[in-house]
Amino acid sequence: MKKPFLCIVTPALADANNGNWQTAQRWARLLAGHYRVHLARQWPDADLAEADVLLALHARRSAASVAAWAATGRPLVLALTGTDLYRDIAQDASAQRSLLLAHRLIVLQEQGPLALPPELRAKCRVVFQSGARRRTLPRTLSHLRAVMVGHLRDEKQPQTLFEAARLLRPDEGIRIDHIGTALDPALGEAARRTALDCPHYRWLGGLPHEATRRRIQRAHLLVHTSRMEGGAHVLMEAALSGTPMLASHIPGNVGMLGSNYGGYFPPGDAPALVALLRECRRGMGAPAGRLAALHAQCEARAPLFDPRAEQAALLGLLSELTPFNESPLRSPR
């Protein structure tokens, strides 16, 4: 039997080197055994006219593709980003229309459905992102290395990290590496100034994905300061590398790490972040220290991010619209 043809529309392709691209590429790989999958920036596309199902990332940025596809009556799945959930669907008409047109909605963490209007939650499914498990490496006790990963833009709130670096003394044994391209030139300049003033802070700019994963794997901690997230890819990668996290207490992070996680700080609160970094530094190597406790919590959460679980969730969702034993359904809206 011929496989159904799935088009994944994503505003971010390989040149973006961001979480949306990583998600789209991974979904294409996980679904390739069951669907003929093609990635595109938009629909209509002459090469994709006969596609059976559209899976679009981003309610606002893919709104034109969503609207065009909806006119065909064919099954439509919409994956929601952090800016969708926590900004655009509250104020952008095109994003709101995308929600209504989709037959199924995907969110990437368990708090995501709560951001939707109650009447739309029944068609929403949680699909945790996944990745390859990496060996937990031994780390030095001579200093604590924290790494932050994310392009420099307002949603990632890198200002919190800059302020934290300035609150730390160079002799405290806490070193910070910051990975990400300066999408906002002003934030790039702030990163350069911080690096000049704070010898314990390094801005490494954008790095290839594999190099970034190695740095996460070698760090004692991942720092995640975002003020808005749909389900950060980097949190999943850190958990699968045996690297615990200090993360802003926002719904997107709580939905990834759980409500009882012990490494949260209020968004934008650099002193609170510094206090956690110092506590982790003091307790390095102690079985009952904060760092060890965070590591144990991340290990308990890691099975959620197994590729087999993500693949099963995606296939289960798509089978509601396109059973393998019959033609794709034209689901009613």
| 18 and 81 housed in the same domain | yes
CA angle 206, 246, 227 (to 5 degrees): 70
Band the pLDDT of 234: cuts 50, 70, 90: very high
Task: Report the percent of the chain where pLDDT is more than 90.
Answer: 83
pLDDT tens per residue across span 85-108: 999 999 999 999 999 999 999 999
| 63 and 154 housed in the same domain | no
In a domain, 310, yes or no: yes
pTM of the model: 0.87
Mean pLDDT of 252-261: 96
Q: Could you give phi then psi for residue 246, rounded to 5 degrees?
A: -110, 120
Mean pLDDT of 240-254: 97
Of the ranges 3-17, 50-64, 89-103, 316-330, which one carries the lowest mean pLDDT score? 316-330
CA angle 285, 288, 292 (to 5 degrees): 60
107 within 8 A of 128, measured Cβ to Cβ: no
Please classify residue 33 by burial: count the beta carbons closer than 10 Å to its beta carbon, then call 0-12 exposed, 13-18 middle and 19+ buried. Answer: exposed
In a domain, 329, yes or no: no
In a domain, 301, yes or no: yes
Mean pLDDT of 257-285: 96
| 85 and 161 housed in the same domain | no
pLDDT at 103 (0 to 100):
96
216 within 8 A of 238, measured Cβ to Cβ: yes
In a domain, 12, yes or no: yes
| 299 and 311 housed in the same domain | no
Band the pLDDT of 11: cuts 50, 70, 90: confident
In a domain, 88, yes or no: yes
User: What is the CATH number for 124?
Assistant: 3.40.50.2000
Task: Report the percent of the chain where pLDDT is more than 70.
Answer: 93
pLDDT at 312 (0 to 100):
97
Mean pLDDT of 148-172: 96
| 153 and 251 housed in the same domain | yes
Of the ranges 11-15, 194-198, 209-213, which one carries the lowest mean pLDDT score? 11-15
229 within 8 A of 198, measured Cβ to Cβ: no
- Spatial neighbors of 32 by CB under 8 A, at least 6 apart, are none
| 157 and 246 housed in the same domain | yes
| 278 and 163 housed in the same domain | yes
In a domain, 66, yes or no: yes
| 193 and 299 housed in the same domain | yes
| 208 and 294 housed in the same domain | yes
| 176 and 286 housed in the same domain | yes
Q: Is 60 exceeded by the pLDDT of residue 17?
A: no
- Spatial neighbors of 101 by CB under 8 A, at least 6 apart, are 66, 67, 70, 76, 78, 333
**For residue 230, which of 14, 13, 20 has the smallest C-alpha distance?**
20
Band the pLDDT of 20: cuts 50, 70, 90: confident
In a domain, 327, yes or no: no
Query: What range does the domain containing 229 cover?
Result: 144-305
In a domain, 139, yes or no: no
Cis peptide before 158 (omega within 30 of 0): no
| 73 and 176 housed in the same domain | no
| 98 and 198 housed in the same domain | no
Q: What is the 3-state secondary structure (H, E, C) of the chain?
A: CCCCEEEEECCCCHHHCCHHHHHHHHHHHHHCCCCEEEEECCCCCHHHCCCCEEEEECCCCCHHHHHHHHCCCCCEEEECCHHHHHHHHHHCHHHHHHHHHCCEEEECCCCHHHHCCHHHHHHEEECCCCCCCCCCCCCCCCCEEEEEECCECHHHCCHHHHHHHHHCCHHHCEEEEEECCECCHHHHHHHHHHHHHCCCEEEEECCCHHHHHHHHHHCCEEEECCCCCCCCHHHHHHHCCCCCEEEECCHHHHHHHCCCCCCEECCCCHHHHHHHHHHHHHCCCCCCCHHHHHHHHHHHHHHHHCHHHHHHHHHHHHHCCCCCCCCCCCCCC
CA angle 9, 19, 152 (to 5 degrees): 125
Mean pLDDT of 48-53: 86
How many domains does the chain contain in total?
2
Structure tokens at 288: 């009952």
Question: Which long-range contacts link 138-142 to residues 24+ away (Cβ below 8 Å)?
Answer: 139/218, 139/219, 139/220, 141/284, 141/285, 142/173
Band the pLDDT of 56: cuts 50, 70, 90: very high
Q: Is 60 exceeded by the pLDDT of residue 55?
A: yes
